[in-house]
Amino acid sequence: MRLQILDNGHSFGTKTLFAIIQTVSRQPVLDVIKLVKYRPDFYGTPMSDVTQQAMRGPSPWSIADRELMAAFIAKTNQCEFCTNAHSAVADLALGTEKQASAILCDLDNPAVAEPLRATLLMLGKLTRENAVDATDMRAVLAAGASLQHIHDALAVCFCFNVIGRLADSFGFSVPPAKAFDAGAKYLLSRGYR
């Protein structure tokens, strides 16, 4: 069920900003932007700062790896909006088309390095079952990931379990692929702030 606050809960100034964005981009304003502007004190700066650090801060994971993690977590949560959004960013970061979708459908894809594959499996378990144990962590370490890899992957998992659930709770619309492509260019060049 879509919460109408995304369509009706903004000030005149914010509605004007949305009209300008839509006119310039020729794309609908994504619901994630509407959410950030609805409650900037919570969904805006605080969550943006955490997400920026997890997705663009220093890490042994590449931007493409972290975007694949975000897409995988979203797919595990069955959040179509977030899966499409982060698959588009991952594809752009990888310089390929539809590779993220292929990886999400088959983690045995040769394009997935073993540390990333093991980490995705661990993140999938954590997302589905809300728990992992020492055995899960040892498997990720044995696959070649470091403790820093695990720490950073868990930060991505935190962000996109929260954001995906918000997207589903607010009933985010799934726009056309062109809108995701435009959003991917923005996120890849400017990050999550």
pTM of the predicted structure, to 2 decimals: 0.91
Give residue 159's Cα distance to chain centre: 8
Give residue 43's pLDDT: 80
Q: How many domains does the chain have?
A: 1
pLDDT band for position 4 (cuts 50, 70, 90): confident
Tokens representing 6?
Answer: 């995304």
DSSP annotation string for the chain: ---THHHH-S-HHHHHHHHHHHHHHSSPPPHHHHHHHHSIIIIIHHHHHHHHHHHHSS-SS-HHHHHHHHHHHHHHTT-HHHHHHHHHHHHHHHT-SSHHHHHHH-TT-TTS-HHHHHHHHHHHHHHHHS---HHHHHHHHHTT--HHHHHHHHHHHHHHHHHHHHHHHHT-----HHHHHHHHHHHHHHTT-
Residue 60, domain extent: 5-190
Tokens representing 125?
Answer: 């378990």
Give residue 102's pLDDT: 93
Which domain CATH number covers 156? 1.20.1290.10
Residue pair 100/71 in contact (Cβ under 8 Å)? The answer is yes
pLDDT tens track for 137-176:
999 999 999 999 999 999 999 999 999 999 998 899 999 9
Q: Is the pLDDT of residue 3 over 80?
A: no
pLDDT tens track for 69-115:
999 999 999 999 999 999 999 999 999 888 999 999 999 988 899 99
The total of other beta-carbon atoms located within 10 Å of residue 60's CB is 13
Q: What is the mean pLDDT of residues 112-126?
A: 97
Give residue 187's pLDDT: 94
